């Protein structure tokens, strides 16, 4: 596989840039040839952009460093805002960012699926705003778009988005920041989705990384009991970096993070590039590892309080979850495979999966939709109907999106997305997280659309 080098441009004159990272085969390396493993957190304090408050980023980063964080995932940003302060804070701490390109109005729909100019322009504006920061590791073209097997016809549209964003990256002369996708863990679509997004042999069309949101390892459990052995079997010699873009089952009184011991040791460490823990801030779903204060009246939506929780101030660890994760990461420090000893030709793009009855709907390496096409039937060569003048219909189509939750935290009948408030996750029970920060990041436009007013009740 060709390398995807993340070039160091330099954030400010006189300041050493964060270490260059490079994709090489299915691994990520720093400038010294050491393998890079993601130890990340989902970071979305409120519906709007968490990367515009430099003071808050400066407060948060101290506990992040104590925890051992080297990567953050941000679900929603305002591309028109100034991010220099927060990005500098995180760069100085050695922390990289992975950022979702879509928003509520532009995410790819699982039904009535399309990929159009409105979406493309929105995605590229976000890329334009963040490409200058050396510590942007990658962008997601979507999050959990496909949450059920009957939505798998949307996969070619995800791949089309990857193709067009990578072409834009090349046209603009941008560094090869990684372009990928974050998937719901759907048992009946394993491993078809991950294989499809890396199949066909055309590096201009495949994802640069594949993230999976999995909440299967609920304490107490084991490598085989959790099903991680099956995830590993499907990730072995995967052609691009694969990592957990969300993880952290919350069953019982505390989170033990036992899965970190598996992810960062043999055999998983041979194929996986780490994990992003869900999530930073404590909310109704009880998945946070820090808090800015006790819960408040949910009717209050002013100042630093939103949805019953304070979202600014001095962070306080939620115990024992914080220390448990800190301990796991501190004791799991894999060396990995030095680049000088890694043969990237040992991995290659996979064959495109065939359709299956009642399961995967895309039959082989079908032609990808062009910009402006919409889904019109089965995912075959003749299934795409061109609608070049089509405009974004995400808002009007939202009622058809099933459990996808705006592409920001979908759930699946058999998947393992983060649960909603006060609900616990098991391998086969993952209710849609309507109150978690992924949904808050895109909820405001929906309320405005439905109510026709800027009033939060």
Active site members = 144, 246
Does residue 166 contact residue 333 with C-beta atoms inside 8 Å? Answer: no
Dihedral-angle region of residue 175 (phi above 0 means left; psi in -120 to 50 means alpha; beta otherwise) = beta
Q: How many angstroms from the chain centroid is the CA of residue 244? A: 8
**CA 344, 345, 347, 350: dihedral to nearest 10 degrees?**
130
* Separation of alpha carbons 159 and 171, rounded Å: 18
* Separation of alpha carbons 336 and 103, rounded Å: 35
Q: What is the DSSP string of 73-96?
A: EES---TTS--HHHHHHHHHTT-E
Token pair for 281: 């801030």
Q: What is the DSSP string of 341-361?
A: G--GGG--PBPPPPP-TTS--
Give CA separation, 3 vs 25, 73, 238, 262, 281, in Å. Answer: 7, 23, 15, 27, 35
Residue 4, CB-side half-sphere exposure with 13 Å CA sphere: 25
Q: How long, in residues, is the chain?
A: 457
* Separation of alpha carbons 93 and 437, rounded Å: 24
* Separation of alpha carbons 7 and 176, rounded Å: 7
Give 319's contacts (C-beta < 8 A, 6+ positions apart): none
Q: Which residues are registered as beta bridge partners of 115?
A: 373
């Amino acid at each position: 596989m060709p390398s995807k080098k993340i070039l160091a441009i330099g954030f400010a004159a006189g300041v050493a840039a964060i270490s260059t990272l490079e994709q090489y085969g299915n691994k990520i390396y720093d400038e010294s040839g050491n393998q890079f493993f993601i130890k990340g957190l989902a970071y979305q304090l409120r519906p709007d952009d968490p990367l515009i408050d430099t003071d808050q980023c400066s407060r948060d980063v101290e506990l992040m460093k104590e925890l051992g964080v080297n990567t953050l995932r941000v679900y929603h940003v305002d591309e028109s805002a100034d991010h220099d302060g927060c990005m500098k804070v995180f760069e100085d701490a050695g922390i990289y960012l992975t950022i979702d390109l879509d928003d509520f109005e532009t995410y790819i729909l699982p039904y009535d699926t399309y990929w159009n100019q409105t979406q493309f322009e929105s995605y590229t504006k976000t890329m334009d705003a963040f490409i200058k920061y050396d510590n942007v590791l990658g962008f997601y073209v979507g999050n959990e778009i496909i949450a059920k097997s009957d939505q798998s016809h949307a996969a070619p549209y995800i791949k089309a988005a990857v193709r067009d964003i990578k072409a834009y990256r090349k046209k603009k002369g941008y560094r090869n920041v990684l372009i990928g996708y974050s998937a719901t863990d759907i048992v009946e679509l394993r491993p078809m989705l991950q294989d499809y997004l890396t199949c066909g042999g055309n590096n201009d069309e495949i994802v640069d990384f594949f993230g999976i949101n999995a909440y299967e390892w609920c304490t107490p459990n084991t490598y085989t009991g959790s099903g991680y052995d099956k995830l590993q079997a499907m990730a072995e010699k995967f052609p691009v970096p694969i990592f957990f873009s969300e993880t952290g089952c919350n069953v019982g009184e505390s989170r033990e993070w036992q899965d970190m011991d598996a992810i960062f040791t043999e055999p998983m460490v041979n194929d996986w590039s780490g994990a992003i823990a869900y999530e930073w801030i404590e909310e109704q779903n009880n998945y946070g590892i820090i808090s800015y204060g006790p819960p408040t009246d949910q009717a209050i939506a002013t100042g630093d309080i939103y949805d019953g929780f304070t979202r600014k101030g001095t962070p306080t660890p939620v115990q024992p979850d914080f220390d448990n994760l800190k301990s796991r990461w501190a004791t799991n420090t894999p060396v990995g495979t030095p680049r000088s000893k890694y043969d990237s030709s040992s991995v290659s793009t996979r064959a495109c999966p065939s359709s299956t009855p009642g399961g995967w709907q895309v039959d082989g390496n079908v032609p990808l939709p062009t910009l402006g096409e919409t889904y019109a039937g089965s995912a075959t060569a003749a299934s795409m109907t061109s609608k070049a003048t089509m405009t974004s219909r995400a808002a009007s189509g939202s009622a058809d999106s099933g459990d996808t939750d705006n592409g920001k935290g979908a759930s699946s009948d058999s998947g393992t997305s983060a649960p909603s408030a006060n609900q616990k996750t098991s391998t086969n029970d993952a209710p849609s997280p309507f109150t978690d920060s992924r949904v808050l990041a895109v909820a405001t436009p929906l309320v405005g659309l439905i109510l026709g007013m800027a009033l939060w009740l």
